[in-house]
Structure 1
């Protein structure tokens, strides 16, 4: 009789208390650790539907629309992301075209500046290239070598 009494007054309540501790504290804490905002948002339509069937008071259509929106939030987020990505690719295309035009303009300016030879100006006092002497005229040739020597000197 003492065994039976000890079992039902001591061991079984302790086992029930341990099970309750495990379920209500340990497993609940583990569930809350894994809980994300996305899971909470996905569960809201379930709560709205349970509330709609549980109560005899009708739920306004706005709440049902919000529930539907939250149920389909993944689809809406994918559509929004596709819209944003298409705009990003368009912007990148326009920027790349503008950069190509700027590069072409810069190349045109560089070639034009090279034609003007802006970088290689002559310094003052720099010796010039020796120039070719003009050929002696017919008048100089007619008088012989004397004038030819004087012209070359």
Structure 2
């Protein structure tokens, strides 16, 4: 009798407590670790369908439509993703064209720079060549010019 009493008052409640701990704490924590927002959203239509077939609670059509939308969320997300990717591809194409045009422009400017001869400028303090005086004629060598000599003679 003592064994029976010990078993039903001590071991069975401990076994039930251990089983409850395993289910309500350990397995629930593991489930919550694996639970994602996508899984929650995918489960909402199931809840709506269960409520819809439970005839005692009337469900408005808007709620059923939301349930259908959530059921097809994968299809909508793929369509939205394709739309975004097509825009990204277009933007990348425009950026590539702009980069090619800029590279062409820079190449053209670099090709025209040697023609401007910017590289061989004189320094500011450099001495210049002396200018050669033009040849003077006999008339120019006279002190006041040829007309002045004729006037005084």
Q: TM-score range by the shorter chain?
A: 0.7 to 0.9
Q: Distance in 2 between matches of 1:55 and 1:14?
A: 42
Q: Distance in 2 between matches of 1:20 and 1:107?
A: 76
Q: Which residue of 2 aligns with 1:125?
A: 127
Runs of 4+ in 1 over 3 A off after TM superposition: 122-127
Q: Which residue of 2 aligns with 1:28?
A: 28
Q: Which ranges in structure 2 are unaligned for 5 or more consecutive residues?
A: 130-153
Q: Which residue of 1 aligns with 2:10?
A: 10
Q: Which residue of 1 aligns with 2:110?
A: 110
Q: CA RMSD in A?
A: 2.0
Q: Which residue of 2 aligns with 1:84?
A: 84
After superposing the two structures, state which structure 1 stretch, 106-115 or 38-47, moved more: 106-115
Q: Distance in 1 between matches of 2:82 and 2:105?
A: 35
Q: Distance in 2 between matches of 1:126 and 1:10?
A: 115
Pair 1:14–1:122, CA change in 2 (3 A): closer
**Counterpart of 1:120 in 2: which secondary structure?**
coil
Deviation at 1:22, TM superposition (A): 1.2
Contact 2:45/2:68 (CA < 8 Å) preserved in 1?
Answer: yes
Deviation at 1:122, TM superposition (A): 4.1
Contact 2:48/2:67 (CA < 8 Å) preserved in 1?
Answer: yes
Mapping for residues 44-63 of structure 1, pairs under 5 Å:
44-63=44-63
Q: Distance in 2 between matches of 1:33 and 1:24?
A: 14
Query: What's the TM-score, normalizing by structure 2?
Result: 0.73
Contact 2:52/2:58 (CA < 8 Å) preserved in 1?
Answer: yes
Q: Which residue of 1 aligns with 2:64?
A: 64
Q: Which ranges in structure 1 are unaligned for 5 or more consecutive residues?
A: 128-153
